[in-house]
Structure 1
Amino acid sequence: MQEMRPSIQIVTTAMDALHAVRELNKQGYKQDDIYVLAHDSDQTKSLADASNANRIGPSEEGVFTSLANVFRSRGDEIRAKLQSIGLTDSEAERYEEELDRGRVLVITNLH
């Protein structure tokens, strides 16, 4: 069985992220399959709450990664989260740089 790769949209604003989540819903994606990620963890939580999307958490990361993230810098934590959903080190680094620039990721197909 081939592992499903996540699909990631890079958006510039919170409103763009909300719009992207709505569009994914219209395309038939379930709320359980849509995640948002911003560089700031409070912004990620706000976006997830506002859009009814999810955050990458212990069930996606695994307990060890989730616990280790407590001791990591935010950049290291983000890269670990992205790697836990199937991205390579270099892909995780590239997307983390986008988040550093204030962009938001809308992620689908984690299962």
Structure 2
Amino acid sequence: MSTIDNKSYAKVVQNGVQAVETVQELHSTVYSAEDIFVLAHDQDRSDRIAEAANANEIGIKEEGMFSAIANLFRSRGDELRAKIVSLGFTETEAAFYEKELDLGKVLVIAKRTD
């Protein structure tokens, strides 16, 4: 698990099963369900994993209205990078994680909101 700052963490896992396990581990720490996000390259896969893991997807609350609307016109890769950046990651980090998602991996992010 890599630290972005004192409040944010990201972990790339191989599949949905590992994502669910990682989310469960995070639930047993200081992170609440509202603090944990799951992201996969395929939107339907993100939906299924988030539901199974009791985690969130990155939405308007995290992205802001402008970015959420802009995502309607972006490629999936650009959209994923924008979502990752919206949680406090740099453009370089977002590009790295997006490449991992391209390979079929899943990104689990925990960001404290308090």
Q: Normalization by structure 2: what TM-score?
A: 0.90
**Alignment partners' CA distance in 1, 2:35 and 2:71:** 22
Aligned match of 2:44 in 36, 42, 45? 42
| 1:27 aligned counterpart, secondary structure | coil
Return 23-32 or 95-104, whichever deviates more. 23-32
Asked if the contact 2:87–2:111 (Cα under 8 Å) also holds between the matched residues in 1, the reply is no
Return 9-18 or 25-34, whichever deviates more. 25-34
Within a 5 Å distance, the mapping from 1:41-60 to structure 2 comes to 41-60=43-62
What 5-or-longer segments of structure 2 have no aligned partner?
A: none
Partner of 1:88: 90
1:4 shift after superposition: 5.4
Aligned identity (percent) is: 48
**Alignment partners' CA distance in 2, 1:6 and 1:100:** 22
Partner of 1:102: 104
**Alignment partners' CA distance in 1, 2:100 and 2:49:** 17
Q: Normalization by structure 1: what TM-score?
A: 0.93
How many residues are paired up? Answer: 109
Partner of 1:26: 28
Q: Deviations over 1:53-80 (max 9, x none)?
A: 0000000000000000000000000011
The structure richer in strand per residue is 2
